[in-house]
Structure 1
Amino acid sequence: MKLGIQNLRAYNFFYFSLLSIFISFLPVYLTFRGVSPGEIGMMVGFGSFVGILSQPFWGMVSDKYKTIKRVILLTLGASIAVGMFLFTMDHFSLLFLLVGAMYFFLLPTDPLTESLNYRKAQEHQISFGSIRTFGAIGYATASLIIGWTVDQLGMDRLAWLFLGYGLLAFVFILVVSDAPASSKKLSKQELKQFFFYPKTLQFFLLVLIAATPHRTNDSFLGVFVLSLGGSTGAVGQAWFLAAISEVAFFALSARILQKWSEIKLITLATALYTIRYVLCALAPSAEWVVYLQFTQGVTFVIFYTATIQYLYRIIPEEWKATGQTVLAVLFFGISGIIGSIAGGWVFQQFGGGTLYMAMAAFSLIACGYSMTLWKSQSTGVVKP
C-alpha cells in the first residue's frame, strides 16, 4: 500500500513538472520561434477552446470504460509524442495545430490525475494534500531547472526535457493501480434549472471577471519578463516563486477558510490581484516582475479555494458535480480564451505595461462586484 502511494506521488511530481514546461515555457518557446504576442494569444485561445471540449470528452471516456489509469496512459502517451513535435517545430501552421493537440491530450490529463489522487486518498485514508503537494513541488522545481537549462544549453533542449519528464511520469503511472471512475448525470431540465438560479449566475460572472486577468498572466508572464530584458532562467525563477508560494498557502488555506467567510476572502484576493498587476505594470525591470510572482499564493490560492467552498455552499448537493465542472470551464477555459486573444492584441499594440494595467482594471472590477455580492447575498444554500 505504501509503495503504491509513493508511486502516485512520484507520478504527480513528474506529471506536473511536464505541465510546467507546457504552461510556463510554451509562450517563451513560441517567442523564440518568432511568433508575435498577438499570434501567441490566438494559439493559446484556440487551445483553451479545444480544452473546453476535450475535458468533458475524456471524462466521459473514463466514465464509460470505468477506468482512470488507462485513459491517463492514453492521453499522457499522446502528449509526449505531440510535445516532441511541438518543441522542435518552427512552422506557424503546424505550431498552431500542435498547440491545439496538446490542449486536447495534456490538459485533460490534469482533472483525471486529480480524480485519481482523490480516490486513492480515500482508499488509503490519507489526505488529498499529502499526494497533491508533490505535484506542486514538481511544478516549482521543474520551472527553476528548465529555465536554467534552457539558458545554459539553448531552447532546442526543451524537447528533450519534455521527453524526459514525460517518460518518467508514464513509467510511474504505469505501476499505479487503477481506480474506478464514476459520475453523476443530470437531466437537461435539471441542468437548465441550475443555470437559472441568480446566485449561481452572479457567482460564475464573478469567477469569469476575476479569472480572466489570472489566465492572461499565465499566458504572457514569460513574454513580459523577456520584453523587460529578462532571461529564460528568470522566467523559470518567476514560475518557481509562484509555485512555492502556492505550496505554502495551500497548506494554510484550511485554517484561513475557517476564520473568514468565502466572499470576504474572494474580495480580499481580487483586491490583492489588483495591487499585484499594478506593481507589475510599473516594474522598472524584469527582476521586479519575477519577485512579484511570490504573491501568487495569497492571490490565486485564496481566491480559488474560497470560490470552490463558496460554490459548494450556495448550490444543492445534487448539483455540486455540475457546478465544479462549470467552474473549471470558466476558470481554465473561457477566461483563457478571452485573456489570451485580447491580451495578445493589447500586448502587441500597446506593450506589456499597458496589458498589466488592463489586468489590474479587470481585477478591480471583480473586487467591486465581489463587495456588492458580499453585501447583497447570504451564504445559504439555494433551494432546488
Structure 2
Amino acid sequence: MGKPFWRRESVCISGLFLFIYFALGALYPLLSHYLKSIGMSGTQIGLIVSVGPIVAIFAQPFWGMLCDRFQMSRQVLSGILLGAVAASFLLLWGGKSFIAFALLYGVLHFFQSGAVPISDGLALGYVTRTGIEFGRIRQWGAIGFALATLVAGMLVDAFWLGVIFYVYAFAQFSAFLFLQGVQTERSVEAVNVFKGLSELIRLPRYMLFLASAFLIFGPINAHNIFFGLLYEQLGGQIAGIGLAFLLFAGSEAPFMKWSGFFIKRLGLEKTIFIAALVSSLRWFWYGTGPTPFAVLALFFIQGFSAGLYLASATQFVRENAPDTLRVTALAVYTSMGLGLGSMAANVVGGMLVDTYGVLRTYTFFGGLTVLGLVPLTLVTWFIKRKSTVLQ
C-alpha cells in the first residue's frame, strides 16, 4: 500500500515540479513578444527559438550522464536551477543584440534543458519507493505552467515585458528551495555510463520509443510556437491566445493525475498509443481551419493527448531502461523529442508557413504523428517487454 501523498517529501517534489514548469510558462509563451519589443525581426526570432532545441540535443544527455555517473541528481539539479537563475538575468541585462541574445539564450538552455529529465528521474525514484502514481506528481507541472501564463500576463500588463525574466528567476529559485527536501537515491557501485549507453542501444523497445518520440513529441512542442499564428489565421483575437494557452495547460493536470487509471485499465503502451492517436487527429482537425470558438471549446483535447502522453511516456522509459541509467535514459528521450524532434518540426513547419500557410503546417504535424504511431504499434503489440531489464 502506498504512503499518504501529503507527506513532507511529496509536498517538496510537487513544489519542485510546480515551480520548474511555472518558470517555463512565464518565459516561453511571451518570449517572442519580448524579442519583437526589442527590435528583433521575425527571422531573427525564429533563429533564436531554434537555439534552445539545438543546445538541448547535447546538454540533456550530458546532464543525464553526469547524474548517473556520480549518483548526485539532487546536487546536479541544484546547480542547474541556480545556473538558470543567473543566466536569466544575464539574458535580460546583456541580450540587447541578436548575437548576444542568441548566445545567452543558449547558455540559459544549457541549464534549463537538464531540469526536466532530472526532476522526472527524482520523481520516478520517489514513485518507486512510495507507490504513489507518477501522474499525481507530474500534474503539478501542468498546474504551474497554467498559473504562470496567467500571472506573467497580468504582470506584463502592469509593468513591462522584461518582467518575465524576473518571474522566471523567482520560480527557478523557488524550485531550488523545494528541491532541498527531496531525497536522492544512490547506487552502491559506480555506474559506467558509456557501457550503459551501449546497453540502451541494444534495447529494441527503448530505441523504437525514441523514434516515436521524435515524431510525436516534436509536433507537441512546435505547436506552442505556431499556435498563435494558427489562432489569428482562424480569425481569433490576440487576447484569446493567452486564454487558449491557459486552458490548454490547465487541461493537462487532471489527465496527468488520471494517467494511472488509464494505465491500469488499458496498459501503459495502449495508453500512450491512444494519446498519440488523439494528438494526430487534433493536428489534422486544426489543419481543416476550425473556428476559434471550437478550438477553445475543445481545449481538453490537449490534456487527453499531450498531458496523457507526457505522463505515460516517462513511465515507459523508466520501465524499459536500467534503473542505474534512469536519468540518462530520460535525458536521451527528452533530447530526441524536445530537442531534435522540436527542432525538425519547427524548421519544416516554418518553411510550410511561408510557402503554404499555417494550416498546412498542422496537417504536416498530423502526418508526423501518424508516422510516430508505427514504432508505437510495434512496441504495443509485437515486441513485448522481456521479463527483466538490465539492472
Q: Give the TM-score normalised by structure 1.
A: 0.81
TM-aligned CA deviation for residue 75 of structure 1: 2.0
- Which amino acid in the other structure matches residue 340 of structure 1? N
Structure 2 residue 147 is the aligned partner of structure 1 residue 141: yes
- Which amino acid in the other structure matches residue 334 of structure 2? A
TM-aligned CA deviation for residue 157 of structure 1: 3.0
Give, in whole Å, the separation in 1 of the partners of 2:347 and 2:115: 24
Is the contact between residue 270 and residue 367 of structure 1 (CA under 8 Å) also seen in structure 2? Answer: yes
Structure 1 pair 204–110 and aligned structure 2 pair: CA distance change class (3 A)? closer
Structure 1 pair 162–373 and aligned structure 2 pair: CA distance change class (3 A)? closer
- Which amino acid in the other structure matches residue 364 of structure 1? V
TM-aligned CA deviation for residue 18 of structure 1: 1.0
Give, in whole Å, the separation in 1 of the partners of 2:110 and 2:157: 29
- Which amino acid in the other structure matches residue 87 of structure 2? V
Q: CA RMSD in A?
A: 3.7
Alignment of 1:330-349 (within 5 A): 330-349=336-355
Is the contact between residue 212 and residue 372 of structure 2 (CA under 8 Å) also seen in structure 1? Answer: yes
Structure 2 residue 15 is the aligned partner of structure 1 residue 10: yes
SS of 1:381's equivalent in the other structure is coil
Give, in whole Å, the separation in 1 of the partners of 2:336 and 2:36: 27
**Long gaps (5+) in structure 2:** 1-5
Q: Give the TM-score normalised by structure 2.
A: 0.79
Structure 1 pair 38–122 and aligned structure 2 pair: CA distance change class (3 A)? same
2:357 corresponds, among 337, 351, 362, to 351
Structure 2 residue 58 is the aligned partner of structure 1 residue 53: yes
- Which amino acid in the other structure matches residue 221 of structure 2? R
TM-aligned CA deviation for residue 147 of structure 1: 2.7
Give, in whole Å, the separation in 2 of the partners of 1:351 and 1:122: 46
Equivalent residue, structure 2, for 1:97: 103
Structure 1 pair 314–166 and aligned structure 2 pair: CA distance change class (3 A)? closer
Give, in whole Å, the separation in 2 of the partners of 1:369 and 1:114: 23
Equivalent residue, structure 2, for 1:301: 307
Equivalent residue, structure 1, for 2:223: 217
1:157 corresponds, among 158, 163, 169, to 163
1:326 corresponds, among 318, 332, 354, to 332
Structure 1 pair 73–265 and aligned structure 2 pair: CA distance change class (3 A)? closer
Is the contact between residue 83 and residue 159 of structure 1 (CA under 8 Å) also seen in structure 2? Answer: yes
Is the contact between residue 216 and residue 276 of structure 2 (CA under 8 Å) also seen in structure 1? Answer: yes
Equivalent residue, structure 2, for 1:114: 120
TM-aligned CA deviation for residue 223 of structure 1: 4.9
Is the contact between residue 235 and residue 290 of structure 1 (CA under 8 Å) also seen in structure 2? Answer: no
SS of 2:300's equivalent in the other structure is helix
2:85 corresponds, among 77, 80, 83, to 80
TM-aligned CA deviation for residue 198 of structure 1: 4.8
Deviations 1:30-76, CA, capped at 9 Å, x for gaps: 34445455544433333212122222333444456654444333222
Give, in whole Å, the separation in 1 of the partners of 2:270 and 2:219: 20
Give, in whole Å, the separation in 2 of the partners of 1:268 and 1:241: 21
Alignment of 1:221-370 (within 5 A): 221-225=227-231, 233-283=239-289, 286=292, 288-308=294-314, 310=316, 323-367=329-373, 370=376
TM-aligned CA deviation for residue 221 of structure 1: 2.7
Residues 343-352 or 116-125, more deviating:
116-125
Structure 1 pair 133–266 and aligned structure 2 pair: CA distance change class (3 A)? closer
Structure 1 pair 325–165 and aligned structure 2 pair: CA distance change class (3 A)? closer
TM-aligned CA deviation for residue 104 of structure 1: 0.5
- Percent of aligned pairs with the same amino acid: 23
Equivalent residue, structure 2, for 1:379: 384
Is the contact between residue 117 and residue 128 of structure 1 (CA under 8 Å) also seen in structure 2? Answer: yes
Give, in whole Å, the separation in 2 of the partners of 1:75 and 1:316: 24
- Which amino acid in the other structure matches residue 117 of structure 2? P
Structure 2 residue 185 is the aligned partner of structure 1 residue 176: no
Deviations 1:253-304, CA, capped at 9 Å, x for gaps: 1121122244443443333212211232334555554555431211123334
Q: How many residues align?
A: 382
Give, in whole Å, the separation in 2 of the partners of 1:40 and 1:246: 28
TM-aligned CA deviation for residue 108 of structure 1: 1.0
Structure 1 pair 359–232 and aligned structure 2 pair: CA distance change class (3 A)? same
**Long gaps (5+) in structure 1:** none
Is the contact between residue 69 and residue 193 of structure 2 (CA under 8 Å) also seen in structure 1? Answer: no
Structure 1 pair 185–350 and aligned structure 2 pair: CA distance change class (3 A)? farther
SS of 1:155's equivalent in the other structure is coil
TM-aligned CA deviation for residue 17 of structure 1: 0.8
Equivalent residue, structure 1, for 2:47: 42
Is the contact between residue 37 and residue 344 of structure 1 (CA under 8 Å) also seen in structure 2? Answer: no
Structure 1 pair 369–58 and aligned structure 2 pair: CA distance change class (3 A)? closer
